[in-house]
Structure 1
């Protein structure tokens, strides 16, 4: 049985709510991993794992425990690469599917932008999440759950 792994440190509340409803509807366990406790409902299919603080502790736990066929929600590209290599399906909080076909290009862009910022170039960060992002995530997440039925 698949598991939904959520990199919950940076997962917006709207996405958490969608994931919880989807887990209930599909009967698939959703495991939220963060370095602090989150207010989650006490339901049999919803789990919270709190990891000690530290760089990438939540990411490492998910990478270690995720298995082929699981679904992971994260926008952390290096983490996504490791999960994809384990045949874990990866969605971002904006509903983008990260795959073996697009992850390396995304990492190259990320590294380029980091280099630009390191040289003093102001590149800005991602835009704030909006209602369209929430809809796109909900639709992509629903399709991912449907594939698991």
Structure 2
């Protein structure tokens, strides 16, 4: 059986270091996909993939590489949908897993929130700050997913 590959939508990923540690334990391959180079660990299992800075270049690379032996880490709902269709498992940075059952609701909520933000003329906040609890939930979720993919 081929090793699991963890594909990281890296430009805004706050859990890269955690992914590297867990991947090492599970002997998983890691691809850090971004528009600009990031520092990565010196490991033959971790590779940097720098794509062009064109719109959605990183998403396109990840979606094309995703398959049933992949775990994709992203907060991008539309990328998550593409990766689920390819058979990948998809985790948000806070440990929440996107599934075939949840992705439709996530897309609908995204559309509603975009409409609400458009009517607020820039007033309002963004997402809640990333917390230690989010980091812990992510680690537990990644571990659970990788054990399940054994």
TM-score (norm 1): 0.94
Contact 1:90–1:98 (Cα < 8 Å) also in 2: yes
TM-score (norm 2): 0.94
Aligned mates of 1:136, 1:148 — CA distance in 2: 18
Indicate the residue corresponding to 1:126 in structure 2: 127
Indicate the residue corresponding to 1:141 in structure 2: 142
Unaligned 5+ residue runs, structure 1? none
Aligned mates of 1:148, 1:78 — CA distance in 2: 23
Unaligned 5+ residue runs, structure 2? none
Q: Secondary structure at the match of 2:31?
A: strand
Indicate the residue corresponding to 1:91 in structure 2: 91
How far the C-alpha of 1:124 sits from its partner, in A, is 2.3
How far the C-alpha of 1:123 sits from its partner, in A, is 4.3
Q: Secondary structure at the match of 2:101?
A: coil
Contact 2:31–2:49 (Cα < 8 Å) also in 1: yes
Between stretches 101-110 and 123-132, larger displacement belongs to: 123-132
Indicate the residue corresponding to 2:12 in structure 1: 10
Indicate the residue corresponding to 1:59 in structure 2: 59
Cα deviation per residue 1:5-52 (whole Å; 9 max; x = unaligned)? 00001101xx11111011111111011100011111110111110011
Q: Runs (4+) of structure 1 moved beyond 3 Å?
A: none
Aligned mates of 1:81, 1:123 — CA distance in 2: 27
Q: Secondary structure at the match of 2:105?
A: helix
How far the C-alpha of 1:120 sits from its partner, in A, is 2.1
Indicate the residue corresponding to 2:34 in structure 1: 34
Q: Secondary structure at the match of 2:32?
A: strand
Q: Secondary structure at the match of 1:137?
A: helix
How many residue pairs are counted as aligned between the two chains? Answer: 147
Contact 1:4–1:73 (Cα < 8 Å) also in 2: yes
